[in-house]
């Protein structure tokens, strides 16, 4: 199959969707399919991508050997969404000029706007099915729009006279505008993939007519390999007066709920003492505010903000640690949890969409409520049990976590997706044929009776 993947963000931008796109593309190529990725231009030179494009187009013209595909970068403006993602210029004509040469069998889009709109147009024009992965609870991200950022702050201010009105506007936008548009978009697609069963269950009440399948993001085999650098990382970041090294991997943004984690850590410290350090891996718009909050909470000795780390190096940090910390409530899958599990790292996480599909309390980690004291109490319990030899140790939970991760190896996931693609293509062709038959069906004349 010739597959086109469209995304609003991609590497070098570090986030869950770019990782999911790259892994699925790699898995499908390993199965013998051609995958073309259409992603934003970050205005960074990449000689390797240029060579891949040249090779792909030469293979297309000469039909010489397997063509794995390549990455096309569509033009973008200097305006950035959420402060990091460049806003595309009108891209339909750019995409159309390339599509006309590629003989695409199926389009897989990863966002419902911008590339999502283009995908629907291209699907209709070239009569190919459009698949959409529902990666994100978009209604939880409206704070990136400046007017709603102010409204959410007003709604959170109990002393504000119009707090209730502000909250009503936010809720109306989330439920009646954003969610309704998402429902409309989904019903224009031929197939929807939900990354977890929890996400599929969340979408069920909307009574969407489009076929839906549950397909998690796969894990590359590389993610399971031992990393010798881990020992050096542990030695570097764990002082002699500390016993445990924890970590989290997250974009430092409001929806990731890192402030909740910091306040919970301060409460946990009151119970277990000054025996741990946490590596905060990732960057984002809230980093400065979070560093300030950590100091205010007296966590200067316990929390280290490392910044962004290349994705292929994160496993070494996981393997250097004893426990993975997670507090996001906006995930649809929690790819970072699976990556931690692949390195035999158990996790503590809020029981929310996505996390509940992966973390089994008392086996490969611990689930908590969205209450800071509960999160702190359960973290303290895990540490105390490990120190006192009661119940499963963190190492034993880590072994169970790895067993969970092995079920998500990317070649298995890619094979499932390819089967769904083929079914969608068959259904689309049948639908087109039925429409042609209906349109050109001979009409009986009066005398034919």
Q: How does pLDDT run across 258-283, given as a tens digit for each residue?
A: 999 999 999 999 999 999 999 999 99
pLDDT reported for residue 160:
61
**pTM score, two decimals?**
0.71
Q: Which domains does the chain have, with CATH numbers?
A: 2-218+411-439 (3.40.50.2000), 221-406 (3.40.50.2000)
pLDDT tens track for 285-311: 999 999 999 999 999 999 999 999 988
pLDDT reported for residue 174:
55
**pLDDT reading at 139 higher than 60:** no
pLDDT tens track for 352-405: 877 888 999 999 999 999 999 999 999 999 999 999 998 899 999 999 999 999
Q: What is the 3 state secondary structure string of the chain?
A: CEEEEECCCCCCCCCHHHHHHHHHHHHHHHCCCEEEEEEECCCCCCHHHHHHHHHHHHHHHHCCCCCCCCEEEECEEEEEECCCEEEECCCHHHHHHHHHHHCCCEEEECCCCCHHHHHHHHHHHHCCCEEEECCCCHHHHHHHCHHHHHHHHHHHCCCCCCHHHHHHHHHHHHHHHHHHHHHHHHHHCCEEEECCHHHHHHHHHHCCCCCEEECCCCECHHHHCCCCHHHHHHHHHCCCCCCEEEEEECCCCHHHCHHHHHHHHHHHHHHHCCCEEEEEECCCCCHHHHHHHHHHCCCCCCEEEEECCCHHHHHHHHHHCCEEEECCCCCCCCHHHHHHHHCCCCEEEECCCCHHHCCCECCCEEEECCCHHHHHHHHHHHHHHHHHCCCCCHHHHHHHHHHHHHCCEHHHHHHHHHHHHHHHHHHHHHHHHHHHHHHCCCCCCHHHC
**pLDDT reading at 115 higher than 50:** yes
Specify the higher pLDDT residue, 220 or 163: 220
**pLDDT reading at 326 higher than 90:** yes
Instruction: Specify the range with the lowest mean pLDDT, choosing from 56-65, 100-109, 205-214.
Output: 56-65
pLDDT reported for residue 168:
67
């Amino acid at each position: 199959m010739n597959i086109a993947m469209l995304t609003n963000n991609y590497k070098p931008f570090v986030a869950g969707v770019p990782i999911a796109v790259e892994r699925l593309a790699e898995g499908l190529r390993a199965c013998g399919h051609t995958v073309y990725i259409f992603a934003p231009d970050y205005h960074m030179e990449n000689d390797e991508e240029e060579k891949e494009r040249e090779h792909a187009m030469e293979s297309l013209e000469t039909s010489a050997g397997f063509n794995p595909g390549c990455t096309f970068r569509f033009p973008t403006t200097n305006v950035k969404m959420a402060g990091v993602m460049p806003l595309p210029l009108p891209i339909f004509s750019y995409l159309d000029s390339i599509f006309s040469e590629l003989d695409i069998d199926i389009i897989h889009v990863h966002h419902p706007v911008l590339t999502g709109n283009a995908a629907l147009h291209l699907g209709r024009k070239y009569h190919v099915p459009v698949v959409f992965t529902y990666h994100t609870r978009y209604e939880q991200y409206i704070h990136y729009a400046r007017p709603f950022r102010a409204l959410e702050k007003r709604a959170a201010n109990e002393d504000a006279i119009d707090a209730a009105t502000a909250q009503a506007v936010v809720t109306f936008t989330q439920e009646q505008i954003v969610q309704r548009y998402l429902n409309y978009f989904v019903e224009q697609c031929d197939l929807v993939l939900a990354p977890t069963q929890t996400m599929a269950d969340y979408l069920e009440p909307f009574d969407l007519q489009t076929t839906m399948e549950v397909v998690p993001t796969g894990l590359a085999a590389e993610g399971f390999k031992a990393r010798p650098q881990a020992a050096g990382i542990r030695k570097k970041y764990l002082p002699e007066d500390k016993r445990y090294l924890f970590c989290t991997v997250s974009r430092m943004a409001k929806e990731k709920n890192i402030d909740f984690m910091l306040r919970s850590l301060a409460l946990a410290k009151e119970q277990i003492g000054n025996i741990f350090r946490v590596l905060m891996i990732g960057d984002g718009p809230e980093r400065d505010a979070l560093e300030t909050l950590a100091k205010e909470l007296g966590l200067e000795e316990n929390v280290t903000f490392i910044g962004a780390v290349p994705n292929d190096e994160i496993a070494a940090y996981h393997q250097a640690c004893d426990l993975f910390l997670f507090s996001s409530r906006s995930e649809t899958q929690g790819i970072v949890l699976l990556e931690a599990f692949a390195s035999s790292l158990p996790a503590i996480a809020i029981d929310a969409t996505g996390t509940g599909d992966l973390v089994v309390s008392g086996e490969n980690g611990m689930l908590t409520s969205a209450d800071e004291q509960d999160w702190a109490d359960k973290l303290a319990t895990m540490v105390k049990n490990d120190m006192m030899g009661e119940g499963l140790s963190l190492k034993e939970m880590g072994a169970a976590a790895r067993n969970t991760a092995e079920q998500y190896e990317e070649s298995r996931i890619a094979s499932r997706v390819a089967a769904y693609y083929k079914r969608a293509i068959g259904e689309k062709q049948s639908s087109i044929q039925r429409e042609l038959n209906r349109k050109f069906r001979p009409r009986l004349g009066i005398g034919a009776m």
